[in-house]
Structure 1
Amino acid sequence: MACAAVNVDALRIALIASSRHPIRQPFPGGLESHVWHLARSLCADGHRVSLFAGPGSDPGLGCAQLTVETLETSAAARQDVSMPPMDFLRDHHAYLRLMLDLAGPLADSSDVVHNHSLHYLPVAMAPAVPTPVLSTLHTPPTPWLESALAVRAGTDAHFVAVSKHTAAAWSHAIDRIDVVPNGVDVDRWPQGDGGPHLIWFGRLVAEKGAHVAIAAARRAGFAIRLAGPISDPGYFESTIAPLLGPGVTYLGHLAQPELATAIGGSAAAVITPLWDEPYGLVVAEALACGTPVAAFARGGIPEVLSADCGRLVVPDDVDALARVIPQVVALPRRVAREHARSHCSERRMVDAYVNIYRRLAANRVRADGDRKVAS
């Protein structure tokens, strides 16, 4: 499917995402949301984008779809004592096929490959691909990715981190890391008028701390609404479900327009990660809706939030969070919106990535020319 816009300076960009999750709404997580917005903006700018992601991705993005090859093992193989979990094997097979294709029959199909997956093979096999491979670091260091980096030591590698915090976390393993903060399309997150209640939104897993947000809201005397996918059913049933009732409402897993309406209709957002968030996309989304934020100062969140549109407190301190909620509710919504527009916009993010794409593509052309002269 071709992009609608025409751009004489268009780049051919291959985006690699999860082989399991389609890039469509409602998003299972922030990574899928990030890739959806990036792909949509690149296509709107006239670039030719190919997307590797779970089957069923949004056809309205205007991307060509790279095949996710599935694997069906034989009964004999499944009985082998070395047989890994099937999900692991399917991911391995899908990324192995993709990287071999990018090194072979698809070698000249892109000017740059942009890897957003959390899998080790796109990093480990990047040197085999003649096209520059840029990998965005969306997470703290993982053993699988560190292993991939170790086997390709000394090769020309290209990495971007979503925050200075994340870049610092990877600095022991990677010499050069550009920083491109995630961005949101502020037009898709319109400013709302607020409301009497608070909101928490994100994946419902223990490390995101929805139960902590509920505790802080109750101590501050506010009702709170929750929104997001139930990614850990055990956590939801054991910890969140018993807390639902008067003053605590679960809205479900909302598509982006409905989520934006819910955020914009809230007095403040309460962001309670119990781990170091690499960026804090939910903070940027809340601010774009004009909704000020009370949050734990963890990971990349302090790089997104400022005192004119929110408050940061010591991580895990529920009492401190409860104390600042009335202050946050009183902050002007237009200031939060303007902060998102000037510091967290999707336009800034896309332009930064395109500048990196062009630099990598130009370096490849020069390198190819040098090799031809030398031969």
Structure 2
Amino acid sequence: MIRRRIAIIGPARTPIAEPFSGGLTAHIRALTERLCRRGHDVTLFAAPGSDPSLPLVELAMNLQLSETARQDVSMPPEVFLHEHHAYLALMTGLARQRGRFDVIHNHSQHHLPIALSYLLPAPMVTTLHTPPTPWLESAVQVGPTPPVRFVAVSRYTAEQWRPTLGPVDVVANGVDCEAWQPGPGGRDLVWSGRMVPEKAPHLAILAARLTGRRLVLAGPVSDPEYFAEVVSPLLGRDAVFAGHLGHEALSHLVRTSAVAVATPVWDEPYGLVLAEALASGTPVATFARGGTVEVVDESCARLAVPDDVASLARAIDEAADLDRAAARERAEKFCSLERMLDEYELVLDETAAA
């Protein structure tokens, strides 16, 4: 593999720093660090407040608006304007830096990097972490086909994008099996992720209660109203919220749990928390939705009928009897960060050389 000069474009609103706000920020951190470790010259463009140990250039979330502009009746939410300004400044800046990068890897989920990719002096790879959205479809469809190579995080996500993009390559997300070490398990269950309605931690509490097992939940409260009105009233001695944990504390929690429970009520593109659980040797019980079914198999997980609490409780009981070594083996073979990096290196190298 030729050592490449790689620009990685991250989200403008959420810093790439622990404790991670979600799977995307953890993914970008791991990808950036490991590409550097493999000898590539990487520059990460990401939100202010990102980890300064990374090869970081902070995105310019500092739009200065006049009072006249602020009084305009069409004034959208200010955070939208700051994000728009950050990516507009980035893309026009990259357009003037001919020869600095061999390839640009976009993880922003914002429309401007795709829409303005024709300005760039280097080719772009965009990873599709989400289903199609109106803004992204607009960026893809405007004018000539943008000079972008698209990669989806699962076969499911690739199929969702097929009507717009045609066939899309798949590079499944990976988890650092060195950082997520296997553990002995335990009696309790674990649920980890953002506290938002689409992740539905309240359903995990209800299912755990049916099994008679204690559930420990961890993650950022991304939707305070949902947490206060739906999740918090269900908490008690058998359902405990541990807070937004850093990696070490979260890893310890997951590897000392009997089963990792996931409750998406939307079609998850991938489900990184499942891969983290498997690397910890912890079997999984989850709803059979979206790309999550590609992460696991029968050796390490049980799938429940989507949104069905009783079905999930049965899946938890069955998953608790699965072999923890099989869960770890699944992570090492399918979910490893090294496998993901090998595949991304090939994609980035092919794109840079095209």
Q: Say whether the fold is shared (TM-score over 0.5).
A: yes
Identify the residue that residue 337 of structure 1 maps to in structure 2. Answer: 328
Identify the residue that residue 113 of structure 1 maps to in structure 2. Answer: 104
| Shift, 1:78, TM fit | 0.2
CA gap 1:280/1:152 in 2 versus in 1, 3 angstroms? farther
Q: Quick one: percent identity of the two aligned structures?
A: 52
CA gap 1:66/1:223 in 2 versus in 1, 3 angstroms? closer
C-alpha RMSD over aligned residues: 1.2
Deviates more, 1:65-74 or 1:22-31: 65-74
Task: Tell me if the contact between 1:69 and 1:97 (Cα under 8 Å) persists in the aligned partners.
Answer: no
Determine which of 67, 84, 88 is the counterpart of 1:96. 88
In structure 1, what residue type is equivalent to 2:203?
V
Task: Give per-residue Cα distances to partners, 1:212-241, cap 9 Å, x unaligned.
Answer: 000110011111000000000001100111
Task: Tell me if the contact between 1:184 and 1:346 (Cα under 8 Å) persists in the aligned partners.
Answer: yes
Q: Does 1:35 align with 2:28?
A: yes
In structure 2, what residue type is equivalent to 1:128?
L
Unaligned runs of 5+ in 1: 1-7, 364-375
Choose 1 or 2 for highest CA Rg: 1
* Count of aligned residue pairs for this structure pair: 354
Secondary structure of residue in 1 paired with 2:43: strand
Identify the residue that residue 371 of structure 1 maps to in structure 2. Answer: none
In structure 2, what residue type is equivalent to 1:83?
M
Q: Does 1:182 align with 2:161?
A: no
Identify the residue that residue 130 of structure 1 maps to in structure 2. Answer: 121
Matches within 5 A, 1:1-375: 9-61=2-54, 63-65=55-57, 67-104=59-96, 106-363=97-354
In structure 1, what residue type is equivalent to 2:60?
V
| Shift, 1:64, TM fit | 4.1
Task: Give per-residue Cα distances to partners, 1:300-350, cap 9 Å, x unaligned.
Answer: 011011000010122111111111212110111111011101110000111
TM-score by length of 2: 0.98
Task: Tell me if the contact between 2:210 and 2:313 (Cα under 8 Å) persists in the aligned partners.
Answer: yes
Task: Tell me if the contact between 2:286 and 2:315 (Cα under 8 Å) persists in the aligned partners.
Answer: no
Secondary structure of residue in 1 paired with 2:104: strand
How far, CA to CA, are the matches of 1:64 and 1:223 in structure 2? Answer: 41
In structure 1, what residue type is equivalent to 2:14?
H
How far, CA to CA, are the matches of 2:277 and 2:269 in structure 1? Answer: 17
| Shift, 1:244, TM fit | 1.1
Secondary structure of residue in 2 paired with 1:207: coil
TM-score by length of 1: 0.92
Secondary structure of residue in 1 paired with 2:160: helix
How far, CA to CA, are the matches of 1:69 and 1:322 in structure 2? Answer: 45
Secondary structure of residue in 2 paired with 1:159: strand
Identify the residue that residue 367 of structure 1 maps to in structure 2. Answer: none
Task: Tell me if the contact between 2:12 and 2:59 (Cα under 8 Å) persists in the aligned partners.
Answer: no
How far, CA to CA, are the matches of 2:278 and 2:313 in structure 1? Answer: 19
| Shift, 1:243, TM fit | 1.0
In structure 2, what residue type is equivalent to 1:21?
T
